[in-house]
Amino acid sequence: PEGGNQQQSDVNLIDVLTPSEISPLLSNPEVASGTLFPHLPSDINRTPEELREVIQSPQFAQALQSLSIALQSGQLGPLLTQLGLDPSAGSGVEAFLRAIQNQVSRQRRNNPE
């Protein structure tokens, strides 16, 4: 498809969020219960074990894959605004990740602990 923002060298979220890399984060109870449990399907038990199974599931991989494709297609404007990101974050996976990094850094500057 046309559209100048199709960087061929873009990344795939599947390689960013591999189960082996992110599962250590999930053992932190604060991270798990505070940040991630609220975003699990309602019929999944809120335990670290379940969380680990979810991130290893083919359905989660499928979600990463389709979000990557959608980001590359650059049609996620409304969603990005909803997440408080700049619409330019929709021009690829890397742009999306960098925008989240910037958002976190900015929020840190504004609310120093």
Does the protein bind other proteins through residue 23 (CB under 8 A)? Answer: no
The secondary element (H helix, E strand) that includes residue 24 is helix 19-26
Q: Strand locations in 1-113, DSSP E? A: none
Applying CB under 8 A, among 19, 33, 36, 87 the residue interacting with other proteins is: 36
Does the protein bind other proteins through residue 52 (CB under 8 A)? Answer: no
CA distance linking residue 37 with residue 29, whole number of Å: 10
Does the protein bind other proteins through residue 76 (CB under 8 A)? Answer: yes
**What is the per-residue DSSP string for 8-45?**
TT---HHHHS-HHHHHHHHTSHIIIIIIIGGGS-TTS-
> Which parts of this chain interact with other proteins (CB under 8 A)?
1, 9-13, 15-17, 21-22, 25, 31, 35-36, 39-41, 43-44, 54, 57, 59-60, 62-64, 66-67, 69-70, 73, 75-76, 78-79, 82-83, 94, 97-98, 100-101, 103-105, 108
